[in-house]
């Protein structure tokens, strides 16, 4: 049975879709069978970031409403063989997502994939709560900035109360993915540091993705950053994060920090997932 991951944040524009594509591709590049699912009904973008926007025929809402079978809606990635996309609908609205329908689709996907990665819409409305509802693991994407940290805190509260895991008394596994991090600015005192965010949110760290032009370049050409340039700094950080999701224990490095591999990373590695 596959594991269900929700990539969520509350706030928009922090890098959920980028991270869904990059983590999904990174896990698939290891050989795992992965499907990335877009829950942002009405404002889909995962198809564009993955470079599959012209190949969408059926979507999540079609499958939920029985207009299409799951295999008809799944789009296989052209570069990474074991990576699939289940797009969201662009023309319907989020009310077309029903709790029963989502449960059925997720259940079916779990039988065929190792990882089901759900890209949550921003906000705390229906789309976001349905995306997290059946998750085994949550990746909370956060920028080192006050409004993003506040919204992540709110989302953590929802993950601990409104998910199937929480309702059945189990612990929801949550990980922090700090994105758009600039080690130089943090060191100067102009940006929240990694341990500031960790202390406030109190969830283990999955990885630190540096602020980088490579992320924009990858979305421009329609490829996950781990595929577009697998040697770039953000790609390396996503590969490490994916390995941690798969259960490996790796020391966390702060990209762009001269002291990487030194005392700082040893401190963080204790907190790593």
Partner 1 sequence: MSIFRLFKKQSSAPVARERLQVLLAHERVSTGNDLVQLLREEILAVIAKHVDLDNERVQVKMDRDEHVSILEIDVEIPRDATKQAA
The annotation places the binding site for ATP at 11-18
DSSP helix, strand, coil percent of the chain (3-state; round to 5): 45, 15, 40
- Residue 40 · residue 173 · CB < 8 Å: no
**Dist CA 57 CA 64 (whole Å):** 15
Q: Provide, rounded to whole angstroms, the least separation between the CB of residue 46 and partner 1.
A: 28
Closest to partner 1 by CB, 196 vs 248, is 196
Closest to partner 1 by CB, 64 vs 155, is 155
Closest to partner 1 by CB, 143 vs 265, is 143
Closest to partner 1 by CB, 103 vs 145, is 145
Q: Provide, rounded to whole angstroms, the least separation between the CB of residue 32 and partner 1.
A: 28
Residues in contact with 68: Cβ distance below 8 Å, sequence separation at least 6, in sequence order = 57, 58, 62
Q: Provide, rounded to whole angstroms, the least separation between the CB of residue 269 and partner 1.
A: 16
Q: Provide, rounded to whole angstroms, the least separation between the CB of residue 35 and partner 1.
A: 30
- Residue 203 · residue 142 · CB < 8 Å: no
6, 26, 29, 86, 232 from 125: Cα distances, Å: 15, 29, 33, 21, 35
In the chain, alpha helices (H): 16-29, 46-49, 60-64, 70-73, 99-112, 126-133, 146-159, 164-167, 183-188, 194-201, 213-221, 225-228, 233-245, 263-271
Binding residue numbers: 11-18
- Residue 238 · residue 207 · CB < 8 Å: yes
Closest to partner 1 by CB, 66 vs 189, is 189
- Residue 119 · residue 36 · CB < 8 Å: yes
Q: Provide, rounded to whole angstroms, the least separation between the CB of residue 261 and partner 1.
A: 24
Residues that bind partner 1 in the complex, under the rule CB under 8 A: 145-146, 149-150, 153-154, 156-157, 160-161, 186, 188-193, 196, 200-204
Q: Which of 3, 1, 17, 19 is nearest to 178 (CA)?
A: 19
Q: Provide, rounded to whole angstroms, the least separation between the CB of residue 204 and partner 1.
A: 7
Closest to partner 1 by CB, 146 vs 249, is 146
């Amino acid at each position: 049975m596959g594991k269900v991951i929700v990539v969520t944040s509350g706030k928009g524009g922090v890098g959920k879709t980028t991270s869904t594509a990059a983590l999904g591709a990174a896990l698939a590049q290891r050989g795992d069978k992965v499907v990335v699912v877009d829950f942002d009904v009405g404002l889909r973008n995962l198809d564009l970031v993955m470079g599959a926007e012209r190949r969408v025929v059926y979507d999540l809402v079609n499958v939920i409403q029985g207009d299409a079978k799951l295999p008809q809606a799944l789009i296989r990635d052209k570069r990474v063989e074991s990576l699939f996309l289940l797009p969201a609908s662009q023309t319907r609205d989020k009310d077309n997502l029903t709790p029963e329908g989502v449960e059925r689709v997720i259940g079916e996907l779990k039988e065929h994939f190792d990882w089901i990665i759900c890209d949550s819409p921003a906000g705390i409305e229906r789309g976001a709560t349905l995306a997290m509802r059946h998750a085994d693991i949550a990746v909370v994407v956060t920028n080192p900035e006050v409004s993003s940290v506040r919204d992540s805190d709110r989302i953590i509260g929802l993950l601990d109360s409104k998910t199937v895991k929480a309702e059945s008394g189990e612990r929801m596994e949550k990980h922090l993915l700090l994105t758009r991090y600039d080690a130089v600015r943090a060191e100067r005192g102009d940006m929240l540091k990694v341990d500031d965010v960790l202390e406030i949110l109190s969830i283990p760290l999955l990885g630190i993705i540096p602020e980088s032009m490579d992320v924009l370049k990858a979305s421009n050409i329609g490829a996950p950053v781990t595929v577009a340039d697998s040697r770039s700094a953000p790609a390396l950080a996503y590969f490490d994060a994916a390995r941690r999701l798969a259960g490996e224990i790796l020391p966390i490095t702060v990209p762009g920090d001269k002291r990487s591999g030194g005392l700082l990373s040893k401190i963080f590695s204790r907190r790593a997932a």
